[in-house]
A and B are shown apart, each in its own frame.
Chain A
Amino acid sequence: MGGVVSRRDFFRIAALGAAGLTGGALVRPRRSAAVAAPPHVAAPKVQPPPAGHGHDVGTVGEVDLRRAGVDPVRYLTHFDGGKVSRLPNGRTLREYRIVSHNREVEIAPGVVFPAWVYNGQVPGPTLRAREGDRIRVHYTNAVDHPHNIHFHGFHAAEMDGVEPIPKGRSFVYEFDAEPFGLHLYHCHVQPLKRHIHKGLYGVFIVDPPQGRPPARELVMMMNAFDTNFDGENEFYAVNTIPFYYARHPIRIRQDELVRVYLVNITEFDPINSMHLHANFFHVYPTGTSLTPVEFTDTVMLCQGQRAILEFRYRRPGRFMFHAHQSEFVELGWMSFFEVVPHDAA
């Protein structure tokens, strides 16, 4: 009903007219071509940020790590090799126990999220094996909703982890760790979006038989949370807690080789990305080759995609890394490396 102008609109229009009669002191033009702006008035000006505020972007307060879904410092470098034993044929057997629970976790300062968790944490534990090892995962679902674990990798059809495991039931997933690379495990019960974004996922690393060069290894799961369940994420992060590594930069040493196991599980958004400041890295897509395919400073991953990144910092100092989607940055996916000089370390 474009033709109808309410009386209130008319006041709005009239009011500034009246203001104009007061001497034009308050008249500021808006972007309307129909209105002749006074010649002295310039284009809209940007308000300068107030002095003394360095980084105003960010959450306020700190997450209570006892209530959090993950200890972000520990998660970076904690690899679970399982309970190791030898099979009669000489191969290594790695056994894991994973239980799914419901847990209210503080995912951002003061914000509690009703998560679904593997072994009490979001993301679940990082499982690590060598190519050819036998993997045996004793899985138990302790909660009302059916859940399961679907591993990426080679395995038999019945070990694929698409059958829901009802409450109180257990299942043993058994397969060989192959191929080597950076993989993922997650719940595969429908509705998939909800089972994933509520927290049922983790990293599964299979090392090549000959291993990789020694490096400072860091696990980074790009994840996000839809706290109001409207199909859009309110928070983005690596390793669950938004802005955590911006507040508590990750310390690495000058010139040391850094290897980032980067996995994207972000729900609802088609892609996520990582950009490293003041540096370039080698990209090993899915970690399935020992030869890098790209030397870049920005990598883009779709949901479920992952890559190993390797780099060294030649200069000490504080360097940002973050999603190169500005929206995700300002919603939490923003972090820092603190590069410590040789002599200080």
Chain B
Amino acid sequence: MTRPEMRRRLLAGLGPLALLAVFVVLFLAYGPLGVFEAAFPPVEKLTIERVTLRPGEMVVAVTNGGPQPVTVAQVLVDDAYWRHTIVPDRTVPRLGRATITIPYPWVEGEAHAITLLTSTGLTIEHEVPVAVESPRPDARYLLTFTMLGVYVGVIPVFVGLLWFPFLRQIGRRWLNFFLSLTGGLLVFLGVDTLAEALDVRTGVPGAFQGTGLVTMGVVGTILALTVLVRRTTARAADGPQARFVLAFLIALGIGLHNLGEGLAIGAAYSLGEVALGTFLVLGFLLHNTTEGLGIAAPLARDRPPVSRFVLLGAVAGVPTILGAWLGGFVYSPVFATLFLAIGAGAIFQVVYELVRMMVRQAGDDLMTTVNFAGFAAGLLIMYLTGLFVAG
């Protein structure tokens, strides 16, 4: 490329940008700013992200997701002006955060309402539906959340993996049935995770664009995992290596889903929304055990060492513990939305890989009665165990 060509290309590339800069300068200098600067009240969007309850004290974390700084002038608890301190400052800049500490004799098991009054008199309200002391990251709560994760995520996954010898003994038709069943399980989980992401998204401060986070999380994960699979299985399209990668991806997808579950559990616990019912854990074990089966199914034709199963089980189950910690101690709608979206993307990508593997093995004739029955059974198992648990 000659130098004039180079210059021309540079100009063509940067020209529009330069023009844009000129317009920005013109707008700021002479533009119709007056039109926008009319006596409208400022737009104030403050989001209460988290309320931590300690004995005789409430700690409120707020984020400014709006276009302008917001000043918290006063704080009300249960319709009473209350003493408080705000760090770092009463004025929260755009995308900034602040922590409000209120000495308040809250009542365990009852509802409380927190209202922030801005300097313009606007009110931002938040409800604590059931007040319970928030968990602190001390040994007791770490143990609790760890055990929660173990029961909800790790044990079911490993128990499900124990079906591997069974899967090895059944015939090809039935293996297809279980692979289809795995597909059904995953689709159920994927839709559920996506719905959860879209639900949590509504709590994300405006400027952080919850919908954008979901889109980026889902699509970005699908693309990233697809590239990863292509790289790791480039040489062997369908061998033990490829099948293990698929099993690993299923484990990863389920792991990310379980991270979301852990977040929900931890957050619900710290928000005081956890209802009682020990017997339900039994149903929960049953519900998630199928996840282990799904991970093992692609490996039925191989003889992987036990260490690989441990790895797969850990990838799928341990994130539940991590999620419970995060949800319990540092829950934030922004991260919860992102994690859930990543989980949904990972699961959908895994469904795609699973179908590809089945196509490679069975040709185009996927729509067999057995496969359909397996897929439907997968959906139905998730639904029915869910009902049993919820009941």
Please list the residues of chain A having a beta carbon within 8 angstroms of any beta carbon in chain B. Answer: 5, 7-22, 25-32, 35, 44-50, 53, 56-61, 108-113, 225, 227-228, 230, 234, 242-243, 327, 330-332
Q: Given that A35-B276, A110-B74 are contacting pairs, would A243 and B283 also be in contact in the complex, using a CB cutoff of 8 Å?
A: no
Contacting residue for A228 out of B123, B148, B152, B268, CB 8 A = B123
Smallest CB gap from A9: residue in B: B390
Q: 4 closest pairs, A vs B, by CB?
A: A227-B121, A330-B80, A110-B73, A5-B390
Query: How many whole Å from A326's CB to the nearest CB in chain B?
Result: 9
Per the CB 8 Å criterion, the residue count for chain B at the interface is 62
A232 to B265 CA separation, bound complex (whole angstroms) = 37
Q: Given that A10-B386, A21-B147, A50-B57 are contacting pairs, would A111 and B105 also be in contact in the complex, using a CB cutoff of 8 Å?
A: no
Q: Given that A49-B56, A59-B81, A110-B74 are contacting pairs, would A19 and B268 also be in contact in the complex, using a CB cutoff of 8 Å?
A: no
Contacting residue for B144 out of A14, A25, A230, A242, CB 8 A = A25
Q: Knowing that A18-B151, A59-B81, A234-B117 touch, tell me 16 more A-B residue pairs with CB under 8 angstroms.
A: A14-B284, A19-B148, A20-B276, A20-B278, A22-B147, A25-B140, A25-B143, A26-B140, A29-B276, A35-B276, A44-B110, A47-B55, A53-B103, A111-B117, A227-B117, A234-B123
Smallest CB gap from B106: residue in A: A47
A32 to B109 CA separation, bound complex (whole angstroms) = 11
Task: Chain A residues near B291: list those with CB within 8 A.
Answer: none
Check A56–B104 contact: CB distance below 8 A. yes
Q: Does B314 contact A (CB under 8 A)?
A: no
Q: Given that A15-B265, A18-B147 are contacting pairs, would A331 and B55 also be in contact in the complex, using a CB cutoff of 8 Å?
A: no
Contacting residue for A10 out of B130, B143, B389, CB 8 A = B389
Task: Chain A residues near B283: list those with CB within 8 A.
Answer: 14
Query: How many whole Å from A31's CB to the nearest CB in chain B?
Result: 6
Smallest CB gap from B266: residue in A: A15
Check A16–B276 contact: CB distance below 8 A. yes
A12 to B277 CA separation, bound complex (whole angstroms) = 10
Smallest CB gap from A7: residue in B: B192
25 A-B pairs in the complex with CB atoms less than 8 angstroms apart = A8-B264, A10-B389, A14-B283, A16-B277, A17-B281, A18-B265, A19-B269, A20-B281, A21-B278, A25-B143, A30-B276, A47-B105, A50-B57, A57-B83, A60-B74, A61-B73, A109-B73, A110-B90, A111-B73, A111-B74, A111-B117, A225-B121, A228-B122, A228-B123, A242-B81
Task: Chain B residues near A56: list those with CB within 8 A.
Answer: 82-83, 103-104
Smallest CB gap from B269: residue in A: A15
Smallest CB gap from B141: residue in A: A26
Task: Chain B residues near A234: list those with CB within 8 A.
Answer: 117, 121, 123
A47 to B109 CA separation, bound complex (whole angstroms) = 11
Check B79–A112 contact: CB distance below 8 A. no
A332 to B117 CA separation, bound complex (whole angstroms) = 14
Check A44–B109 contact: CB distance below 8 A. yes
Check A44–B108 contact: CB distance below 8 A. yes
Check A16–B79 contact: CB distance below 8 A. no
Check B152–A18 contact: CB distance below 8 A. yes
Check B269–A110 contact: CB distance below 8 A. no
A-contact bits for B261-304, CB 8 A (1 contact / 0 none)? 10011001100011111111101100000000000000000000
Check B269–A58 contact: CB distance below 8 A. no
A49 to B107 CA separation, bound complex (whole angstroms) = 11
Q: Does B126 contact A (CB under 8 A)?
A: no
Check B268–A331 contact: CB distance below 8 A. no
A5 to B280 CA separation, bound complex (whole angstroms) = 14
Query: How many whole Å from A225's CB to the nearest CB in chain B?
Result: 8
Smallest CB gap from B275: residue in A: A13
A28 to B53 CA separation, bound complex (whole angstroms) = 15
Task: Chain A residues near B123: list those with CB within 8 A.
Answer: 227-228, 230, 234
Check B119–A111 contact: CB distance below 8 A. yes
Q: Does B120 contact A (CB under 8 A)?
A: yes
CB proximity to A under 8 Å, residues B108-146: 108-110, 117-123, 130, 132, 140-141, 143-144
Task: Chain A residues near B121: list those with CB within 8 A.
Answer: 111-113, 225, 227-228, 234
Smallest CB gap from B104: residue in A: A56
Q: Does B49 contact A (CB under 8 A)?
A: no
A45 to B103 CA separation, bound complex (whole angstroms) = 17
Check B107–A47 contact: CB distance below 8 A. yes
Query: How many whole Å from A323's CB to the nearest CB in chain B?
Result: 13
A18 to B74 CA separation, bound complex (whole angstroms) = 40
Query: How many whole Å from B23's CB to the nearest CB in chain A?
Result: 35
A8 to B199 CA separation, bound complex (whole angstroms) = 10
A27 to B196 CA separation, bound complex (whole angstroms) = 26
Contacting residue for B277 out of A8, A35, A44, A227, CB 8 A = A35
Contacting residue for B148 out of A7, A22, A32, A230, CB 8 A = A22
Check A110–B147 contact: CB distance below 8 A. no
A125 to B84 CA separation, bound complex (whole angstroms) = 35
A19 to B196 CA separation, bound complex (whole angstroms) = 23
Check A15–B90 contact: CB distance below 8 A. no
Task: Chain A residues near B104: list those with CB within 8 A.
Answer: 56
Q: Given that A7-B192, A11-B268 are contacting pairs, would A58 and B73 also be in contact in the complex, using a CB cutoff of 8 Å?
A: no
A56 to B141 CA separation, bound complex (whole angstroms) = 31
Check A49–B81 contact: CB distance below 8 A. no
A301 to B172 CA separation, bound complex (whole angstroms) = 86
Smallest CB gap from B74: residue in A: A59
A29 to B132 CA separation, bound complex (whole angstroms) = 11
Smallest CB gap from B261: residue in A: A11
Query: How many whole Å from B269's CB to the nearest CB in chain A?
Result: 6
